[in-house]
Amino acid sequence: MPANSDNTMRSATISVLVENEAGVLARVVGLFSGRGYNIESLTVAPVEDGRNRSRINIVTSGTAMVIEQIKAQLDRLVPVHRVADLTQQGPHLAREMALIKVVGRGNDRAEALRLADAFRARVVDATVESFVFEMTGSSDKLDAFVELMRPLGLAEVSRTGVAALARGTRTI
Amino acid sequence: MSATAPTPNPSATEAPQPGAEVLLRALKDQGVEVIFGYPGGAVLPIYDAIFKQNAIRHILVRHEQAAVHAAEGYARSTGRVGVVLVTSGPGATNAVTGLVDALMDSIPVVCLTGQVPTHLIGNDAFQEADTTGITRPATKHNYLVKRPQDLARTVHEAFYVAKSGRPGPVLIDLPKDILIGPAPYAPPPEAPHRSYRPRREPDPASIARAVTMLKAAKRPVVYAGGGVINAGPEAAAALTDFVRRAGIPITNTLMGLGSFPASDPLFLGMLGMHGTVEANLAMHGCDVMLAVGARFDDRVTGRLDAFSPGSRKIHIDIDPSSINKNVPVDLAIVADAGQALAALNAAWLADEARQDRAALGAWWQKIEAWRATKCLAYGQARGEGALIKPQYAIERLRDLAAASGRECFFTTEVGQHQMWAAQFLRFDRPNHWMTSGGLGTMGYGLPAAMGVQIAHPDALVVDVAGEASILMNIQELGTLAQYRLPVKVFILNNEYMGMVRQWQELLHGGRYAESYSAALPDFVRLAESFHGAGMRVTEVDRLDDAIRAMIASDKAFILDVAVDPAENCFPMIPSGAAHDQMILGPGKQEAAPGVSDEGLALV
């Protein structure tokens, strides 16, 4: 039972399996904005070929009571099949991909490349004065790399948002 | 017999019909008998199909908002799904208030809206609006039918969604080309819905725990809401059974009135902002609370951190998102209220533990002391020049309506008159009280009464109104005239938006900004101009005769009762105060608790 006095904020990665129909994303997003919940990251794409289903992964934050409320509100949407709180259910994987453009010459450029190597970012585009790195990992790791690139000529970042799955044999 | 009469043995391979015909056939298969609507360009094919058949009756309203409220009144008084048909663009946007009203009060409604043809959608065509976009947060669910093969299936699904789980409004947006072009028919599906399957049966272990908690309780209270009404008359019967067997006090929300007989001494009256002292203090002081089909709304709880501080709470609700939303509870039971109460009754009988009768006796003594404050008492002066107290008018209406021996239904608008009606009309049965609870929609009562009267042609249907609210959908007098619906409008005319004036008096230094009802019409002549009848009464001694004349009239009737303009609605828990900080009204209490700024920000 969530206690009223427990105002500690926690982060939650919630996966939602939905019927892939018109407006379903708007319903989910509208629910969050209409009820004042946070969305820190949101990804959506069709999964399960032939069954017309999409998976939405949402990273949000709130008190225990609010997170429970978010799940209950999602679960009662008509096209929602299942809602899973991966953070609460146990160990899980949460990954995102980023494309990071760094523009520079000389030492900064060499340093950017060395750090990219240390972070296992791949070079997917290069000119004499720019790189585009592709990097996959936890959001924290991406944040850290982006921060390191800032003084080295960080020009632009594009991130996918989080895709998440439970570890082990468990499924949504 | 028309060409579209239902065929006895519909085969799956029959030739496709125009979409509008398929739509009507699906509605018939869903048992629809009445549609409340208003025509327009985009829905002309449906009106053409309606013209060619006799199974479904269409009631032409005078404004689309009223169509939805009428469907709500119909649904709430019958337990069936109310059906609305409006055109695209302004037809749909006018219906939005009604849809949100039905959403907040969990009323099953299916609303059909016309839409421009599919190839024009998104082109800013004439009378185009993004209806599904606009109504997404205004409905339980909505659909845009873009392919003919989805039409019949969508209609069946809409009815299923509207009435399953926590009921609500469902909208189907119908582009004109889908209505004109051929579409295949499909019967209602037998397979369960692919994703929406609300849980109805309670968990037996939780029911057993609830019995243990309730039997051990020293100061129990039952707090029952509109969910019990929505679960059907059997649920109200099971609730009544349970409460009488256990001998414990019960209070109702505004929406739950009628779920337990108000004439029973176990009933404490309504709780909340304008609830009785005994109901609110019982909630505040209880040790075990059983909430059934109620959602701990802010009008009920008052200040949350001071709400029923010492109690363990059991919450039965069909909507899991209602549980632990505002108030954390100790035992959650997700189920249909009727099924849960039936299970609770069975488990109570099977359980051998005894109730703590001594403690219960002491609890009842406390409650009786609270009840003895007679918090609803008012003074009605007599003789020449005496003003009619609004409470007195409602009591006379209640007693004379009962004395008529007819089945009585009451609807209300929103404001002081609504609260007095809730306090003084006593409901012994469910489905006879229709009021806009969650959204608080002024203009609800008249069209809702219209829907009730359509469903119950011989009943006495009264809209208890204020002179301000009634003007919000006054055009429906035209509908009453057209269909000869003898709805009675009982106006408590205090020449103010009474609740606004009350708040301004109590919270805003008596600055009555814009709350005076200036330039009022002559309601009697207004009724007469719409082919009805009317009467105005200003003297206490003439009130009874006027009410009798209203009840006896076979026409739509407005009774304009001039009441004391200064009367306020008490008890009152000011916004942001707790249940034990009620204002009882003049002469009943010395100090009113201060209203905090935080409280002032609440509405």
- What's the CATH code of the domain at A59? 3.30.70.260
Identify the bridge partners of residue B434 per DSSP, sorted by sequence position: B411
Residues A108 and A148 in one domain: yes
Residues B306 and B256 in one domain: yes
State which residue of chain B sits closest to A32, comparing Cα positions: B137
Report which residue type is found at A36. Answer: G
The pLDDT tens digits of the residues spanning B383-403 come to: 888 999 999 999 999 999 999
The pLDDT of residue B586:
82
Check pLDDT > 80 for residue B270. Answer: yes
3-state secondary structure of A133: strand
Residues A84 and A140 in one domain: no
Check pLDDT > 60 for residue B299. Answer: yes
Domain boundary among B183, B216, B238: B183
* Chain A CB within 8 Å of residue B132 CB: yes
Residues A37 and A79 in one domain: yes
* Chain B CB within 8 Å of residue A36 CB: no
> Angle A42-A78-A14 (CA atoms, 0-180°, nearest 5)?
30
Residues B352 and B465 in one domain: no
How far CA B439 is from CA of B45, B98, B274, B299, in Å, comes to: 33, 9, 17, 12
Residues B367 and B277 in one domain: yes
- Count of A-B CB contacts under 8 Å: 56
Check pLDDT > 80 for residue B223. Answer: yes
Question: What are the tokens at A135?
Answer: 């990097």
**Residue tagged 């969990």 (tokens):** B106
The pLDDT of residue B588:
74
User: CATH number of the domain that B238 lies in?
Assistant: 3.40.50.1220
Among A65, A72, A80, beta carbon nearest to B328: A65
Domain boundary among A89, A120, A155: A89
The pLDDT of residue B344:
98
Residues A14 and A85 in one domain: yes
All residues of chain B having their beta carbon less than 8 Å from the beta carbon of residue A69 are 321, 324-325
Q: Which of B406, B428, B72 is nearest to B233 (CA)?
A: B428
* Chain A CB within 8 Å of residue B161 CB: yes
* Chain A CB within 8 Å of residue B323 CB: yes
ω before B571 within 30° of 0 (cis)? Answer: yes
Residues A68 and A109 in one domain: no
Among A4, A78, A79, beta carbon nearest to B328: A4
Check pLDDT > 50 for residue A2. Answer: no
**Considering the domain boundaries, does residue A147 fall inside one?**
yes
Check pLDDT > 60 for residue B8. Answer: no
**How far is it, in rounded angstroms, from Cα B228 to Cα B256?**
7
Residues B349 and B218 in one domain: yes
DSSP assignment of B438-476, as one string?
SS--TT-HHHHHHHHHHH-TTSEEEEEEETTGGGGGGGG
Q: Which of B141, B155, B196, B143 is nearest to B29 (CA)?
A: B155
Across residues B328-355, what is the average pLDDT? 97
**How far is it, in rounded angstroms, from Cα B440 to Cα B457?**
27
Residues A59 and A115 in one domain: no
Choice among A46-60, B209-223, B304-318 with the minimum mean pLDDT: A46-60
Q: Which of A77, A4, A10 is nearest to B296 (CA)?
A: A4
Query: Is the ipTM of this structure higher than 0.90?
Result: yes
**Considering the domain boundaries, does residue A129 fall inside one?**
yes
CB B48 within 8 A of CB B75: no
Domain boundary among A48, A72, A89: A89
Check pLDDT > 70 for residue B6. Answer: no
Give the confidence band of A6 by pLDDT, cuts at 50, 70, 90. confident
Residues A100 and A30 in one domain: no
The pLDDT of residue B589:
59
* Chain B CB within 8 Å of residue A68 CB: yes
**Considering the domain boundaries, does residue A5 fall inside one?**
no
Question: What are the tokens at A58?
Answer: 């949402």
Give the confidence band of B16 by pLDDT, cuts at 50, 70, 90. confident
Residue to test with chain A: of B100, B321, B334, most A Cβ within 10 A? B321
Cβ contact (<8 Å) for A76 and B321? yes
**Considering the domain boundaries, does residue B591 fall inside one?**
no
Q: Which of B316, B296, B162, B293 is nearest to B231 (CA)?
A: B293
Cβ contact (<8 Å) for A34 and B321? no
Residues A84 and A120 in one domain: no
**How far is it, in rounded angstroms, from Cα A141 to Cα A138?**
5
Give the confidence band of A48 by pLDDT, cuts at 50, 70, 90. confident
Q: Which of B406, B404, B445, B405 is nearest to B422 (CA)?
A: B445
Residues B29 and B136 in one domain: yes
**Considering the domain boundaries, does residue B567 fall inside one?**
no
More confident residue, B531 or B384: B531
- Nearby residues of B350 by Cβ (< 8 Å), 6 or more positions away: none
Check pLDDT > 50 for residue B171. Answer: yes
**How far is it, in rounded angstroms, from Cα B95 to Cα B139?**
11
B241 CB neighbour count, 10 Å cutoff = 15
**Considering the domain boundaries, does residue A171 fall inside one?**
no
Residues B441 and B395 in one domain: yes
Residues B339 and B477 in one domain: no
**How far is it, in rounded angstroms, from Cα B422 to Cα B62?**
28
Cβ contact (<8 Å) for A72 and B323? yes
Residues A106 and A159 in one domain: yes
**Considering the domain boundaries, does residue A2 fall inside one?**
no
3-state secondary structure of B356: coil
**Considering the domain boundaries, does residue A170 fall inside one?**
no
Give the confidence band of B511 by pLDDT, cuts at 50, 70, 90. very high
**Considering the domain boundaries, does residue B100 fall inside one?**
yes
User: What domain count does chain A have?
Assistant: 2
Question: What are the tokens at B366?
Answer: 């406390």
Chain centroid offset of residue B276 CA:
20
Report which residue type is found at A9. Answer: M
User: CATH number of the domain that B413 lies in?
Assistant: 3.40.50.970
| Rg value, chain A, Cα | 19
A37 CB neighbour count, 10 Å cutoff = 18
The pLDDT of residue A67:
96
Report which residue type is found at B485. Answer: L
CB B437 within 8 A of CB B253: yes
User: CATH number of the domain that A116 lies in?
Assistant: 3.30.70.1150
**Considering the domain boundaries, does residue A58 fall inside one?**
yes
**Considering the domain boundaries, does residue A110 fall inside one?**
yes
Determine what percent of chain B is predicted with pLDDT higher than 70: 95
Report which residue type is found at B48. Answer: D
Residues A85 and A100 in one domain: no
Check pLDDT > 90 for residue A7. Answer: no
Domain boundary among A89, A124, A144: A89
Q: Residue A104 is part of which domain span?
A: 93-165
Residues B407 and B498 in one domain: yes
3-state secondary structure of B110: strand
The pLDDT of residue B1:
37
**How far is it, in rounded angstroms, from Cα B336 to Cα A166?**
33
**Residue tagged 């790195």 (tokens):** A133
CB B223 within 8 A of CB B291: yes
The pLDDT of residue B4:
45
Residues A112 and A157 in one domain: yes
Check pLDDT > 60 for residue B3. Answer: no
Residues B428 and B339 in one domain: no
**How far is it, in rounded angstroms, from Cα B177 to Cα B185?**
16
Question: What are the tokens at B190?
Answer: 């037998």
Residues B222 and B178 in one domain: no
Residues B398 and B349 in one domain: no
Residues B335 and B432 in one domain: no
User: What domain count does chain B have?
Assistant: 3
Residues A26 and A51 in one domain: yes
Check pLDDT > 60 for residue B24. Answer: yes
> Angle B141-B144-B147 (CA atoms, 0-180°, nearest 5)?
135
Q: What is the dihedral of CA A132, A137, A139, A141, to 10 degrees?
A: -80
**Residue tagged 């304008």 (tokens):** B274
**How far is it, in rounded angstroms, from Cα B448 to Cα B461?**
10
* Chain B CB within 8 Å of residue A128 CB: no
DSSP state of A91: -
Using CB atoms within 10 Å of the CB of residue B361, give its burial: 0 to 12 exposed, 13 to 18 middle, 19+ buried.
exposed
**How far is it, in rounded angstroms, from Cα B486 to Cα B261?**
27
CB B174 within 8 A of CB B143: no
Q: 3-state SS of B195-241?
A: CCCCCCCCCHHHHHHHHHHHHHCCCEEEEECHHHHHCCHHHHHHHHH
CB B203 within 8 A of CB B400: no
Cβ contact (<8 Å) for A23 and B327? no
Q: Residue B452 is part of which domain span?
A: 390-562
A42 CB neighbour count, 10 Å cutoff = 17
Check pLDDT > 70 for residue B596. Answer: no
Give the confidence band of B597 by pLDDT, cuts at 50, 70, 90. low
Among A3, A23, A78, beta carbon nearest to B196: A78
Across residues B482-486, what is the average pLDDT? 98
Q: How far is A74 from chain B (nearest CA, A)?
A: 9
Catalytic residues of B, which ones? 64, 126-127, 176, 499
Across residues B36-64, what is the average pLDDT? 98
**Considering the domain boundaries, does residue B164 fall inside one?**
yes
Cβ contact (<8 Å) for B321 and A80? no
